[in-house]
């Protein structure tokens, strides 16, 4: 190992990964993913799909999850900065309904590993951000679920900047809270 540093979080399973960056007069080089290093850190998942999105300041995507085909995700920012959040929705978890957030940026090069059965979302803090992530299952459009971003029962402390206008998809404004999720999916 040695090419990555892995920090565990207060919610079991979540991990913040910082790669070793090799800099010189030309710029920098880093390995963003190397199976053996990640396996040594306890992340043995096989990723089958890579996704990338671009967003402007104030875009809030999420909180999303797949219902019947849950995905582990490894997320990072290629350009700009986001506040990335995972909410524990694992049945029987002692931290069910708890959240953890981390700033991911092109500058800090951190990555965030989010296991299956977490709702995930992010808020763009920079003028523009490119966001990339690996998934362990394919996207199934009819399997989407979500929880409203500002559910008071979860209490995410989003770093809303002064004067920031949120930009969301219509569906992201209509999700229910964690109580509705629990009633619908965790009977």
Would you call 120 a catalytic residue per the annotation?
Answer: no
Catalytic residue among 28, 64, 139, 140: 64
Would you call 133 a catalytic residue per the annotation?
Answer: yes
Q: Could you tell me where the beta strands, DSSP code E, fall in 20-80?
A: 22-24, 27-29, 49-56, 60-66, 73-79
**Cα(86)–Cα(91) distance, integer angstroms:** 15
Q: For 66-120, give the secondary structure using H, E and C.
A: ECCCCCCEEEEEEECEEEEEEEECCCCCCCCCCEEEEEEECCCCCEEEECCCEEE
Catalytic residue among 35, 96, 128, 133: 133
Catalytic positions, written as ranges: 64, 133
């Amino acid at each position: 190992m040695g090419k990555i540093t892995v920090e565990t979080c207060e919610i079991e399973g979540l991990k913040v990964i910082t790669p070793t960056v090799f800099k010189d007069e030309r710029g920098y080089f880093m390995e963003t993913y190397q199976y053996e290093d990640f396996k040594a850190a306890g992340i043995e998942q096989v990723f089958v799909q890579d996704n990338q999105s671009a967003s402007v300041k104030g875009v809030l995507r999420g909180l999303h999850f797949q219902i019947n085909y849950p995905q582990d995700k490894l997320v990072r920012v290629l350009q700009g900065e986001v506040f990335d959040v995972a909410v524990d929705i694992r049945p029987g978890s002692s931290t069910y309904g708890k959240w953890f957030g981390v700033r991911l940026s092109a500058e800090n090069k951190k990555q965030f590993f989010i296991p299956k059965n977490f709702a995930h979302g992010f808020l763009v803090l920079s003028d523009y951000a490119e966001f990339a992530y690996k998934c362990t299952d394919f996207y199934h459009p009819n399997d989407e679920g979500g929880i409203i971003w500002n559910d008071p029962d979860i209490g995410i402390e989003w770093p809303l900047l002064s004067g920031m206008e949120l930009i969301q998809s219509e569906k992201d404004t209509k999700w229910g809270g964690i109580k509705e999720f629990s009633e619908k999916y965790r009977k």
